[in-house]
Structure formats: structure tokens, C-alpha cells
Amino acid sequence: MIGAGTREVRMEAPTDLLSLSQAELAAWMKSHGQPAFRAKQVRRWLFDKGADSVEAMTDLPKSLRAVLVDETTLGTLTVAARQESQDGTEKRLYRLHDGHLIESVLMRYRDGRRTACISSQAGCAMGCVFCATGQMGFARHLTPTEVFEQVWRYDRALKAAGERLSNVVLMGMGEPFHNYDAVLTAMRRMNVDLGIGARHITVSTVGLVPRIRQLAEEGLQVTLAVSLHAATDAARRALMPINKRWPIEELVQACRDYVDATHRRVTFEWALIEGETDTPEEANRLGRLLQGLLCHVNVIPLNPTGGFAGQPSSPARARRFVDILKRHGVPASVRVRRGIDIDAGCGQLRSRVLEEAAG
């Protein structure tokens, strides 16, 4: 309690250097009596050299580094938990400044690809019944910098190891198109600040049709991925409530229009649930639905969660599903599941950590 005659001192929150544009950082430097070119130096350390601290920025004057240490931060995310799979997949649980938790994953492939799967929201409002994130509900949108920082952290770590981040997929926690403006800003920064080619960035949606049409007008060469998972409205509504708002016919037409406008192939995600979405009948329905569309189908054996009783398909059923699609002229492949020996599915690590804290 503050006594009589005392004055409350308000501490300003530190400035997050990751959140500043070139112009904003130059203005910050000017306000601290520094020349504008210092902003370029700092950004080169952040985005080209992958500096993990201000102290590492050795071509800055010691006096400036001291001020930066006192008044700024490099991002706002803190690691709350971390897991590493036998296949090299790394999963991080981040705590946001307000206590909410999000997840991101780094997947390492034998061909040298390094892919970051990142979150766009804390929780998700879409309610897909087989998704751990959908089961937890929606907390809040991430800021553009919170989305970008997940990528920057993996990029920085890989550079320190003499590697590079090659791909980014926005398929983590949340519906990216529900947080459209922040995600778009973050994707542009991945391209401009980190040099990740737009064609190596994939943004996923459960099917927010107006945002698919909006993305088609943005002039970005990113890849659009649509979580489909069923070929009839009745089956899809049972899995994905969003289908009540935008049924399959409307969704697929938006995808056809997207291809016409961008000349970019659309990827469809299909979770293979034993005896439900992996049958020959479903494969034939999907093949007829997508026939003639420039697309590719990623079929993914379900990652089981505690809140959904379905089980993943066997490799033989997955191969049969892909073969049937190819007979319809629809390219498809079985996605290699990564991190199966850890909490690999979106939201699973967060749920486990919260359960342990409560128990």
C-alpha cells in the first residue's frame, strides 16, 4: 500500500524489438540519441544473423546495448514446456504475457526440410470434434508479432546450428482465417524479414469461405490448405460445425474460384478415421467432388485425442483410399505423421500440462 505523501511510480513495459518496423525502430533510436542506421544493424542481427540476445550484437556501442537490455525485449513468449520426439520433431508450449498457452512444432525431415507448424490463436472457436484445440474452446487471437515470433524462434535456433527454416505451416492451434489480418501481417513478415519464400508458407482453414475469396485478392503466393474431412454435408456437419454456415458445395466452389484467380493448387486435408472417413465409399465421393480441380489431398491417419473416440486408419486402408482418389484423377498422398511418441496433436501438450498443474 502506498502511504500518504508518497508518489506511485509507474514502470513502462519494455519495448519488444520484434514488434517494431524499420521506421519504428529508427524512431526509437532517434529518441535515444542514436543515428537511424542503428536500426538496420539491430534488424540484421535479429533476422539475418539470428541473435539470441542484445549482448550478441557486437557491432553496437556498449552504451546502446546497455540501454537496449534495460528497455527492450526480444519477443514476449516464454517456454512453458518442451518435448522432443525420437524422429527429431520438437514441440514447444509457450506462455503468453497474459498467461494463455499456445503450441508450435518444428518437424525435421530426412530430405533436409525444416518445417515450423505454428499457432494463430490461443484455443479455437471452430469446435471440430476430433481436434484437441477445438475441444478446449477459444481464449483469444494472437497478435501479428506473437504469430511471427514462433517462426522467428525456430529460424534463430536453426541458424545457430548451421541450418535454415525452409517451410512454415499455419496448422497449429486456432483457425488462421478467424484471425485473418494478424495472420496476413505475420506471413508477409516471414517472407520479407526472414526470407521464407511465400510458396513455402501454407495457411490452413476449416472453410471460412469469405476469407478464401479475400486471400485470392491479396496477391500472395502462399499455399491454401482446406480441412475437409468429409464429402457430404451431413457427415461434415457432425465433425465440423462450420459446415452449417458454409456447406461443402459453397466451399469447393470458393476453392475453384481461388484456383482460377491465383493459378495456385489448393491442398485438402483429410483425417482418416477408422471405419468412418477411410471407406471406399467416402474415397469415391471425395474423388467425384474434387474431380477436375487443381488440388492435392493430404490424407492423415487421425491423431487420437482424449475427447474423441475415433481411431486412426491402418496403413493398408490409407493406401487404398489414396489409390481410389487417383482413379478419379485426384492426386493424393499419405502424410507422414511426426512426433507420434510425444503429445503431437494440436493442443495435446497444453492439455497435459494443465492437467498436471491441476492434479
Give the catalytic positions in this structure: 103, 346
The C-alpha atoms of residue 38 and residue 44 are separated, in whole angstroms, by 10
Give the contacts of 10 (CB within 8 A, at least 6 positions apart). none
The C-alpha atoms of residue 251 and residue 289 are separated, in whole angstroms, by 11
Q: Are 224 and 258 in contact (CB under 8 A)?
A: yes
Q: What angle do CA 278, 134, 18 make, to 5 degrees?
A: 120
Give the contacts of 309 (CB within 8 A, at least 6 positions apart). none
Grid-cell match 542484445, residue found: 54
Q: Are 298 and 335 in contact (CB under 8 A)?
A: yes
The C-alpha atoms of residue 329 and residue 266 are separated, in whole angstroms, by 15
**Sheet containing 78-84: which strands, arranged edge to edge?**
78-84, 90-95, 101-108, 114-117, 167-170, 201-205, 223-227, 266-272, 295-301, 332-334
Nearest to 298, CA basis, from 350, 349, 228: 228
The C-alpha atoms of residue 32 and residue 220 are separated, in whole angstroms, by 37
Beta-sheet strands, E only, within the chain: 15-16, 72-73, 78-84, 90-95, 101-108, 114-117, 121-123, 138-141, 167-170, 201-205, 223-227, 266-272, 295-301, 332-334
14-52 core/surface letters (b: 16 or more CB in 10 A; e: else): eebbbbbeeeebbebbeeeebeeebbebbbebbbeebbe
